[in-house]
Amino acid sequence: MTKRFLLGLCLVLGLVTGAQASGGGAPLDKFPTERVTNLPALQNGARLFVNYCQNCHSANYMRYNRMRDIGLTDEQIKNNLMFAGKKVGDTMTVTLDPVQGKDFFGAAPPDLTVIARSRAGNGGSGADYLYTYMRTFYRDSGTATGWNNLVFPSVAMPNVLWELQGQQGAVFETEKDPHDPAKTHAVFKGFQPLTEGKLSTAEYNEAVADLVAFMQWMAEPHQSQRVRLGVFVLLFLALFTLIAWRLNAAYWKDIK
């Protein structure tokens, strides 16, 4: 009975996590993972984060001085990434009151320190989710903000990067339900451009990739070191296994 309960619980949690990561069925685009180790990309992502995301979203578990790890000096951090007279050792908080945020958007904007990890699931990594999410906003006059999102339907957040991306509309077609011909549902067919942005589509995709790379790094600053250490540990274990196997053979050869 206990085993069945645990198995059922794991199944439910897996389904929930997968639904969150895949946006309720929307396929996720693959995030270019090589950008997480690219210092210029991380620095550009940090700039985009503080200018476009940190107006509403905090990163309470990250300190500004931690960005020394991506090649920035304290002077660069102060001049380009900090506002409102904060100190380099301060955490990346915002002045927006959570109550006001809930009044404005219907829900308080979440902290983004580990959002790239919390959105991971069966549908893809958290970086895949964010990379797709930030590129699939579209105009929708039926929502309070005038925006909607393909990955997160009825999202309360507007497209804060619309000046860079431009505005786009979503094209849906009504199709019959293959399981019940009496029912119909809207099927997404693509986006249509409405206004041009400051960046081309390719440039915008690269900018979003930089932003997501920074958020991925912020969620686990030691990720690169952990991966490198893991490689050395596996090599050591492989070598130790070989040595142990040969010692074992040499010890027992006379006994046999």
Note the pLDDT tens digit of each residue in 141-171: 999 899 999 999 999 999 999 999 999 999 9
pLDDT band at 39 (very low <50, low <70, confident <90, very high): very high
pLDDT tens digits, 133-142: 999 999 999 9
- pLDDT value, residue 175: 87
The pTM assigned to this predicted structure is: 0.79
The strand pairing partners of 127, in sequence order, are none
Judged against a pLDDT cut of 80, whether residue 23 lies above it is answered with: no
Residue ranges and CATH numbers for the domains of the chain are: 25-144+201-248 (1.10.760.10)
The answer to whether 48 and 207 have CB atoms below 8 angstroms apart is yes
| 170-194 tens-digit pLDDT | 999 998 888 887 888 888 999 999 9
CB atoms within 10 A of CB 154: 11
d(CA 227, CA 171): 42
Under the banding of pLDDT at 50, 70 and 90, the label for residue 3 is: very low
